Amino acid sequence: MSMGFLILLLSLIPALGKRSGFFVLFWILGSLTLGYEYTLALYGTSAGSWIISFPEPLGTAHLGLNPLSAFFGLVFSLGLPLGMLYGHYYLREHQEEGLGSHLFWLGVMGLSMHGILWIRHTLLFLMLWEVMSLSSFFCVIQDRDKSVKPGLDYLITMQVGAFLLLIGFGLAYLSSGSFDFSTLSGMNRIPLFLLLAGFSFKAGFFPVASWLPQAHPVAPSHVSGIMSGMMIKTGLYGILLLISCNLFSLAEILVFFLIALLSSFFGVIHALAEDNLKRALAFSSIENMGIIGLGICIGLLGGISGNPVMASLGFAGALLHTLFHSLFKPLLFYLSGNVLIATHSLKIDELGGLSKSMPATSRLFLIGVLAISALPVGNGFISEFTIYFGMIQGLKSQFLPAMLVSVFALAAMAFVGALALIAFSKLYSISFLGTARSRKAEKAREMKAGMLTAPVILGVLILVTGLTGQFALLGIKPLLSWFGYQEEALHGLQLVFGQMGIVFGILILFGLLLWLVRRICVRERLSNTWGCGYQKPRARMQYNSLAYTQPLSHFLKPFILIKKTRDSENAVFPAKLEYRQEVRDLVERFVILPVTRLIAAFLKLFSGIHNGKTNSYIAYSLVVLILLMFWVLRFAP
């Protein structure tokens, strides 16, 4: 442990000296060292532990790993250095002020993410949690012009979450008198739910996820990738930690199920309606967290209905999706970073035709789209299949609620999956296919090799894990026994993945064969796109993002808040007409804003006190003095 963290700490020195190359090098080395330790801990050989002693009220702090934190550690030590590597090249293209401080905060953010996995002391955990929120806030506001307001929004949301965590940990301390993590098992309901709610703020579950679509689009692309792929997983880590050592009743699980379902539905319909590349990706993170939540609920239901196979499949699916989401989501964020640098725009209706001007970026993006819409050969399919498999096990359950939830979840996940396919085929086809819709997109050129290194590595990883399901399953197995289920429960899944590998082999073989035949036998001739007889097609005649989702909009209208503005003059002859449509966040508009307004109105009541006049301040102290005098006279013996 000391070795890896030392290397990562050392990386802060080149960071302050603005030497981002060395910074990345240190991060790669440190992550390798830490990754080695995480692997050891995951397979249970040596979970080295350290003890720090504090003066009395704080007690002793244990530092150590369990399989769960080792798993998340592996996710971080894979994802963070790739993010930093991409950031190294991205910052070079996107020259801004304050490179040194940005790298410093980036390093601190990564360090604190690794740190919270080791700490077994609630107070220290909370401190590092705050460090993580603060440092990521500084990373988000790299581009000062437009990111300060969303960044502050993010910071405040995180503070509310941390506040809940503080109360939860405080109550746990009051009832047990210890700051150790062992107090987290078998907790009282109130602190338990406060903690779960606090972690949900970070994880981005349904009602408290509105910071994601605000902070991600304005953050530099490597930061959005790291935050969406890795940092929100720290919230999930907290939730899983609590779930692993507490028992839940059926009603509570059903509430979780509802939240997970709403998260995935809410996330995907907003991703569907959104026309900003990075905002859509942020909404889709909410959807993916919802899918992970569905897996966890299936696991919990299997647990209480005495169906270990269903339980282990649910948890395995959730963990696999956690791992895979940390591969494909950063990939998509990094590639939208490439698009942003090439075109200076993230609005998909201003892009188009990039598949020809940016061939590598567009092909890698296609891999990400495959994975995120859970189509075969992408790795998203493997994890969603595992969750489906768990639900199918639940169909035969004797326990009626588990059975009903399984049926409902199967249909709901298929619905969400189909909507995700629509959302991402829209993002991909409007921004990469067809012809350029604006000058900016016409001028796009492919990025240099550096900007493509991290995406290529991620893309290869996605395909490898997508083709061989058993591979990633190996990393999940030790975790399951830690959750208290037999590894044999996954035996059936392993066999299925074996056969699925063969099927994918046949699929690829067929595809290659057909491609070869076409390559050899067919000659091509180029011609204009058929325009129904119209000879001069223009870029603006293409389908745009609004039209693409129109058939579904009738059904989704009640769930999305869309602001429409239309400037037109009712003249005899049609003049210039402008129509704009913007997706607003429903929760933010109807929950968060009214609540904050209420709080502000309440605080306004007291603002009259602070009126800036010296004489009234003197009057206040006089009143206080007189009151004090009465109090002393009354209570003095």
Q: Does 251 bind other proteins (CB under 8 A)?
A: no
CA triplet 257, 262, 263: central angle to 5 degrees?
100
Q: State which residue, 115 or 434, has the beta carbon closest to other proteins.
A: 434
d(CA 481, CA 459): 30
Residue 318 makes contact with other proteins by CB under 8 A:
no
Q: Contact between 524 and other proteins (CB under 8 A)? A: yes
Interface with other proteins, residue 527, by CB under 8 A: yes
Structure tokens at 230: 């890795």
Among residues 521 and 601, whose Cβ is nearest to other proteins? 521
- 525 lies in the site for other proteins, by CB under 8 A: yes
Q: How far is the CB of 546 from other proteins (least distance, A)?
A: 10
Binding other proteins by CB under 8 A: which of 523, 536, 610, 634?
Answer: 523
Count Cβ atoms below 10 Å from residue 614 Cβ, excluding itself. Answer: 7
Give φ, ψ of 584 to 5 degrees: -110, 150
Cβ 513 to other proteins shortest distance, Å: 8
Residues 362-391 that bind other proteins (CB under 8 A): 362-363, 366, 373-377, 381, 385, 388-389
Choosing from 251, 506, 572, 603, the residue that interacts with other proteins (CB under 8 A) is: 506
What's the distance, CA 323 to chain centroid? 11
Q: How many C-beta atoms lie closer than 10 Å to residue 623's C-beta?
A: 10
507 binds other proteins (CB under 8 A): yes
> Of 475-494, which residues contact other proteins (CB under 8 A)?
492
Indicate the SS3 state at residue 578: strand
| Closest separation in Å from C-beta 202 to other proteins | 31
Distances (CA, A) of 49 to 6, 74, 336: 16, 18, 41
Q: Tell me how far apart the alpha carbons of residues 12 and 22 are, in angstroms, rounded to a whole number.
A: 10
Q: Which is nearer to other proteins, 522 or 636 (CB)?
A: 522
Give me the count of residues in the chain.
637
Whose CA is closest to 314, among 493, 573, 460? 493
Site string for other proteins, 555-574 (x = CB under 8 A): x-------------------
Nearer to other proteins, 243 or 416 (CB): 416
Pull the structure tokens for residue 93: 């293209």
345 versus 357: smaller Cβ distance to other proteins = 357
Nearer to other proteins, 171 or 404 (CB): 404
Q: How far is the CB of 523 from other proteins (least distance, A)?
A: 4
Residue 290 three-state SS: helix
Beta pairing, strands 60-63 & 50-53: antiparallel
- Residues 528-557 as x/- pattern, contact with other proteins by CB under 8 A: xxxxx----x-x-xxx---xxxxxx-xx--
Write the interaction track for other proteins spanning residues 333-352; mark x where CB under 8 A is met and - where it is not.
-------------------x
In sequence order, what are the residues at sequence separation of 6 or more whose Cβ sits closer than 8 angstroms to the Cβ of residue 208? 157, 161, 197, 200, 201
Q: Which CB sits closer to other proteins, 184 or 310?
A: 310
> Tokens 């609590």 correspond to what residue?
242
- Which one of 53-61, 62-70, 110-118, 496-504 is the stretch in contact with other proteins (CB under 8 A)? 496-504
One-letter amino acid at 377 equals: V
Of 432-451, binders to other proteins (CB under 8 A) are: 433-435
Tokens coding 328: 């494909």
- Shortest Å distance, C-beta 167 to other proteins: 40
- Considering just the CA atoms, what is the radius of gyration of the chain in Å? 27
Q: How far is the CB of 558 from other proteins (least distance, A)?
A: 15
- The CB-of-554 to other proteins minimum distance in angstroms stands at 7
In the complex with other proteins, which residue's Cβ is closer, 157 or 379? 379
Q: Specify the amino acid at residue 94.
A: H
Residue 304 as a binder of other proteins (CB under 8 A): the answer is: no
Closer of 407 and 619 to other proteins (Cβ): 407
CA atoms within 13 A on the CB side of 603: 6
Query: Who's near 466: CB < 8 A, 6+ residues apart?
Result: 370, 371, 376, 377, 378, 379, 380, 381, 382
Binding characters for other proteins, 392-431, by CB under 8 A (x = yes): xx-xx---x--xx-xx--xxxxxx-xxx-xx--x--xxx-
How far, in Å, CA of 59 to CA of 573, rounded? Answer: 80
Both structure tokens of 451: 């900007």
Nearer to other proteins, 177 or 498 (CB): 498
Cα separation, 347 vs 415, whole angstroms: 26
Residue list 30-59, contact with other proteins (CB under 8 A): none
Least distance (Å) between residue 59 CB and other proteins: 49
The CA-CA-CA angle for residues 625, 631, 633, to 5°, reads 105
Least distance between other proteins and beta carbon 82 (Å): 26
For the CB of residue 435, give the shortest distance to other proteins in the complex, in Å: 5
**Residues that contact other proteins, how many (by CB under 8 A):** 83
Is residue 543 within 8 Å of 437, Cβ to Cβ? no
Nearer Cβ to other proteins, position 202 or 270?
A: 270
- Residue whose CB is less far from other proteins, 518 or 589: 518
Sign of CA dihedral 373, 374, 375, 378: positive
List the one residue from 46, 49, 249, 499 that touches other proteins (CB under 8 A).
499
With tokens 């223009």, the residue in question is 538
Q: What is the rounded end-to-end Cα distance, in angstroms, of the chain?
A: 61
The answer to whether 501 contacts other proteins (rule: CB under 8 A) is no
> Rounded to whole angstroms, how far apart are CA atoms 309 and 322?
20
**626 makes contact with other proteins (CB under 8 A):** no
